[in-house]
Amino acid sequence: MSRVPLREIAHARAGDKGDISNISVWVYDPDHYGAVKAQLTPERIRAAYPGLVTGAVERYELEHLAGFNFVLRAAIEGGVNTSLNLDSHGKSWSFLILALEIDLA
């Protein structure tokens, strides 16, 4: 079994509005979709970054496109314009998520 950073098998796009960050993850090879689906869960994202996301994490699956959309609530310290943390917005979240490791069978 090989363990790889998600960024080696997928890419991400991000956006945010208010205190909500929206991250889409797109798997390059559809054969890896199942492994990502099983391992990249809302629970794992919350557990990996417990101090950064304080609200719900929702995952929407786009299986026919080998993609996911994650909605992170209360993840931007009140919103990009009100937060004192300059890096706490969607682009930063996409990089953090792509750093998580995935086991490929």
Structural contact between residues 79 and 19, judged by C-beta atoms closer than 8 angstroms:
yes
| Ranges of each domain in the chain | 2-104
| Domain spanning 2-104: CATH 3.40.190 | no
The tally of CA atoms less than 13 A away on the side-chain side of residue 41 is 5
Per-residue pLDDT of the chain (105 residues; tens, 9 = 90+): 699 999 999 999 988 777 788 899 999 999 999 999 999 999 999 898 888 888 899 999 999 999 999 999 887 555 455 544 444 455 678 888 999 999 997
55: DSSP letter: S
- Alpha carbon dihedral 47, 49, 50, 51, in 10-degree steps, equals 180
What is the pTM (predicted TM-score) of this model? 0.84
